[in-house]
Amino acid sequence: MKPTDTNKAQDPRQFHYTALPILDASPNRISPVSPSQLFAIRLFRLTIVALFAMLIWWAGQVANSKSELNESVSLIDAQRIFPEATRLEWRKSPANSFTVLIDDDIPIGTILRTAPECNDLIGYSGPSDLLVGLHHDGSIRQVVLLSSLDTESHVQAVRQSLRFWDSFRGWQPKIDLQPPFDGVSGSTLTSRAMLESVIRRVTGDSPSLRFPRTLTLDEAKQFFPSCVDLRFDVPKLGWATLFDRTETTLGYLLRTSPIADNIQGYRGPTDALLAIDRDQQTILKVAIRNSFDTPDYVARVRDNPQYLEQLCEPSLANWAILKLEASGIEGVSGATQTSYGLAEGIRRRAIADVQRLSATIPFPNPGLIRNVALGFVILGALAMMFTRLRHVRWLRRVWQIIVVVVFAIVLTDLLSMSLLVGWARNGIPFQLAPTLVVLAVVALVVPWLTKQPFYCQQICPHGMVQEWVGRLNSRKLHLPRRLNRVARALPNFLLVAAILSSVIATHVDLSTWEPFDAWALRCTVWASTSIAISGLVASYFLPQAYCRFGCPTGALLGFIRSHGRNDRFGSMDWLSGLVLVVLAAVVWMNTPRDLLPFANQGQGTAIRKLSGEFSGTAWSVTFRDPVVRPAELRDQIAREIERVEAIFSSKRANSAINRINASQTALEMEIDDELFEALQALQEDRVTTTGTQVANEFDANVFQLLPEHRTLKKNRPDSVIKLNSSLNKIVAEKIGKLLHATGQTEFSIRIGSDTFAE
């Protein structure tokens, strides 16, 4: 400021003007923060959001660990698809699959679950568990939804779509990889995830009723003698990986069944086994496992090493494009149709593998249109925000119309707390919705870097419609200052409440807290629709009413947004840090011992429960010690129960004890050693898992055990041995031995109404 001339009369207005810089330089003025402080504040907020996402995921893991781990299929569930079913027979591969049996142990179909193998297929915000019933020919009888972690409103829309569920009936995914239907409008991501789950489970190493015998370790050793372990569905569905003692991969085994089950050679199909080198392409050996073709013709092919070596020459990739007529592969003389059937089975198996690798869902689907449309919206929004186009008023109006129409007709999936929390808990759906993931990343990163409310201003159609409604009224209401401050705090309150409920009550449906599901116009969600209509009505009187006073998703984006050099560490930052610490402490205290770091050094206890079906009743095992690989342990228990039933169960037509009952003789009979020892122990009241005696259920006049010959003699030809509840004790003893072998020391076994503690 230049000094004024004292000889001239001073103009008061000039003096006032020159005094302004002095007032601006007042010591009460708040100085902007330094760049390093600003970056620290922004980094803190980004870290807080990341930590909350991790906490939500961890809370979900804790909730799952406390729930009953039952990956089996109950008879009651199976009867929803097969009402005539009387028993289920567990299968080793694929996991969670069962042969459905009726009276006299006649198989009528196969039933399997999509979980947990397809839990990585996230719909809108979570995976779904489906029950799939298959006919003998591999066609689908029915698909039933068991449970879902997806957004409830989207799941409900799919559940009510009769067309979606009816379209599964009769479809043969193993033959026709293209389904005869698309997803459910308004719940596209949810229905597509369910559809892909069925495809993955059925077109992998799906169960074959014609060739039900699964691969064994002995079979693997015929190809790789040093093999000590084989793992199914690794590295691909339908494959088995072989390992030596050092956990080194030796190679792979691949069956042509069930892909080739409908290929007739001369009189029937053939199941072949391919030994694959570690490059996953070179075929080392081809062998016939089993066949319904004419035995003489099958023997001619099996005994012709030149022909089998000829089948090994093309790689798997070449088999997928091979034309047998022009390939030069000659059939076996005298067994031409059988040998061609074998070659065609290999070709179809290779084609199925290539089709699975070539696309996430191997058929044209509306996901491509959705991804292209959303990509266009993202790029257009970036252009409207960061180029000169943002100053063209008429173009902004056109852009808003395009966005609203695209979201209302094509996309319907907006960013929301329900979506983001679901991803944090269940995983991010890169496979099904890659551009939606990109949108979420851009919506978080752009405001963090540039101070611009990118998503709220340029993409959110609900905000745009509010802006249109607001223009209809030129006389807006103005809230009193205090009321306005309270109202503006409401989105932050809802954001904190949403995070609290996501961590403490993991199954709260957050989609009913926001209006965004109302944009799925073909999916009626009354709570969301009510909020949407209320927000639009309020925006007639108050500009952007819902955005300013009710949107928790907007509060999240606003929290992470940079505010430039005037940014400060405020009350919301303190509150977020405090809530994070408290919630982390709550989750830590509720975390089972086996999920905690350094669990072996702690003093807490963890309970893990495995359960399943047994002889028309249920079994369960509850542990106190941490369980390593609970799904594998459950499979081991199920296999042991299956083996015991095959010997002791009177409900099995071909069990060892029923063969004794069916023999109309009083002569001395040789019986299974394990059965002999169990009957002998039961007669002496020595079979328990607790060491206490049990009542003798046997009539001494029914049979006699002859220890010197380890034989049994019925006192009358028509005598019948019934184990009744003693079978539960036998099963409990076998399970107890198995658990001890795996290192478990504290557990209780419950079979039916009987409990056995260890």
DSSP secondary structure code for residue 510 in this structure = G
Residue 736 contacts by C-beta under 8 Å, 6 or more apart in sequence?
689, 749, 756, 758
H or E segment to which residue 704 belongs = strand 703-706
Q: What is the pLDDT of residue 689?
A: 36
Q: What angle do CA 190, 355, 121 make, to 5 degrees?
A: 25
Whats the size of the chain, residue-wise? 758
**For 426-450, how does the pLDDT look when each residue is reduced to its tens digit (9 = 90+)?**
777 776 678 888 888 999 888 888 8
Distance CA 398, CA 383 (A): 14
* Whether the predicted pLDDT of 27 surpasses 60: no
Average pLDDT, the chain: 77
Sorting pLDDT into bands at 50, 70 and 90, what band is 207?
Answer: very low
DSSP secondary structure code for residue 155 in this structure = H
| CB-based contact 588:451 (threshold 8 Å) | no
- Burial of 534 (C-beta count, 10 Å sphere; 0-12/13-18/19+): middle
Q: Which of 56-70, 175-189, 485-499, 661-675 has the highest mean pLDDT?
A: 485-499
Distance CA 266, CA 118 (A): 38
Q: What is the pLDDT of residue 376?
A: 87
* Whether the predicted pLDDT of 660 surpasses 60: yes
Q: What is the pLDDT of residue 18?
A: 41
Residue scoring higher pLDDT (203 or 303): 303
**For 718-738, how does the pLDDT look when each residue is reduced to its tens digit (9 = 90+)?**
777 777 667 888 888 888 888
Q: What is the pLDDT of residue 283?
A: 92
| CB-based contact 105:121 (threshold 8 Å) | no
Rounded average pLDDT over 694-715:
64
Q: What is the pLDDT of residue 85?
A: 86
Q: What angle do CA 532, 535, 541 make, to 5 degrees?
A: 150
DSSP secondary structure, 288-351, as one string? EEEESS-HHHHHHHHT-HHHHHHHTSS-HHHHHT--HHHH-PPPPTT-HHHHHHHHHHHHHHHH
Q: Which of 23-37, 153-167, 171-185 has the highest mean pLDDT?
A: 153-167
**For 226-272, how does the pLDDT look when each residue is reduced to its tens digit (9 = 90+)?**
998 888 777 776 788 999 888 889 999 988 887 777 676 766 788 89
CA distances from 487 to 204, 468, 491, 546, 711 (A): 54, 22, 8, 10, 86
Sorting pLDDT into bands at 50, 70 and 90, what band is 320?
Answer: confident
- Helix, strand, coil % over all residues of the chain, rounded to 5: 50, 15, 40
Alpha helices (runs of H) in 459-551, residue ranges in sequence order:
461-471, 481-504, 526-541, 545-549
**How is residue 218 written in tokens?**
């002995």
The dihedral sign for the CA sequence 184, 187, 191, 192 = positive
Distance CA 557, CA 203 (A): 42
CA distances from 382 to 442, 548, 659 (A): 10, 23, 76
Pick left, alpha or beta for residue 569 (phi over 0 → left; psi -120 to 50 → alpha; otherwise beta): beta
Q: Which of 414, 535, 549, 540 is closest to 486 using CA atoms?
A: 549
Residue scoring higher pLDDT (306 or 703): 306
The dihedral sign for the CA sequence 265, 266, 268, 274 = negative
Q: What is the pLDDT of residue 229?
A: 85
Sorting pLDDT into bands at 50, 70 and 90, what band is 685?
Answer: low
